[in-house]
Amino acid sequence: MDNGTAKNIREGLTADCSKCFGLCCTALAIVASTDFPINKPAGTPCVNLQSDYSCQIHSNLRGRGFKGCTVFDCLGAGQVVSQVTFKGQSWRDNPEIGDKMFRVFPIMEQIHEMIAYISEALSYDIPHKLSDRLNVQLVALQNLTRLDAEQLLVLDLAKYRIPINNLLSETSKYIRESLLAKLPGNKNATNYNHERADWIGKKLRGKDLRAMNFRGAYLIAADLRNTDLRSADFIGADLRDADVSGANLSTSMFLTQMQINSAKGDVKTTLPSQIERPSHWVK
Ligand code: SF4
């Protein structure tokens, strides 16, 4: 697979709410917190969901306390469940399918998330042996998206997640070590491993953090202003309220729209091409 094809697959994972029956606003539970002003159990529509499945406070979600809604990204799982798995039947017109639809949605979300990570890995210049193994997993995941609801509900996703996680780690290590080899001085990859590190609120302004491994790291409210984060791996990292204003994330790896939506940034933050600048960053 060439880089262009991998990028097209990644870009195809864009949510299209006009083709979805408001699944994120219905299937998922909401817990009152700094991100939401209300509680809502899973499987019940949000009070703001309108009959055409649009949100009546869409233009002012943050102002109304629904910050969590501006962070969420289903990676296109909503429209696939609505239009492919359930063939355009809505839970409002067919209440008997509602429960099944709401349980399938988070499963499809996880499949789409894995497809997003693999397609990103395939967009890098990596050894053929590694890309061949990633391609096998990609095809398997794409086939899963076409299963019917009954088949999706009994899937053992760990069977896919574990080998995929290993392949993504291998990709990350290859890319980060390739960069370290080009940097001046004797760079020791061990010093770049901050997997699952607790860096909550850490002051890192202006630091060179290239090729760092931040897999699963807690970077909540960290000061990352004007940092260089190229080729840093962010898979599973918690970036809530981390300040990436002016930071260079242009080639950061496995960064998601949700992570960026949950962080603070500005017009000077440089983002990877597949990530959109959140509208709430405009100052
Ligand atoms: S506030 Fe709007 S976007 Fe958020 S869950 Fe409710 S309907 Fe959906």
Residues near 150 by Cβ (< 8 Å), separated by ≥ 6? none
The candidate with the shortest Cα–Cα distance to 116, out of 155, 146, 169, 77, is 77
Helix intervals (H) in the chain: 3-11, 67-71, 77-80, 98-122, 128-144, 149-153, 158-182, 257-262
Ligand 1 atom 7, closest CA: 49
pLDDT at 189 over 90: no
| Pocket lining: 15 vs ligand 1, CB cutoff 6 Å | no
pLDDT band at 12 (very low <50, low <70, confident <90, very high): confident
pTM for the whole structure = 0.94
Nearest-atom index, ligand 1, CA of 47 = 6
Q: Is 57 in the pocket of ligand 1 (CB under 6 A)?
A: yes
pLDDT of residue 283: 56
Mean model confidence pLDDT for the chain: 95
Distance CA 248, CA 267 (A): 11
Mean pLDDT across 81-109: 98
CB-ligand 1 contact for 55 (6 Å cutoff): yes
Q: Which atom of ligand 1 is nearest to the CA of 46?
A: 6
Instruction: Give the pLDDT band (50/70/90) at residue 8.
Output: confident
Residue 114 near ligand 1, beta carbon < 6 Å: no
The predicted-structure confidence for 100-130, as pLDDT tens digits, reads as follows 999 999 999 999 999 999 999 999 999 999 9
pLDDT at 184: 80
pLDDT at 218: 98
Residue among 44, 57, 74 to mutate when testing ligand 1 (max atoms within 8 A of CB): 57
- The percentage of residues in the chain with a pLDDT greater than 70, rounded to a whole number, is 96
Residue 5: predicted pLDDT: 79
Distance, CA of 58 to CA of 44 (rounded, Å): 19
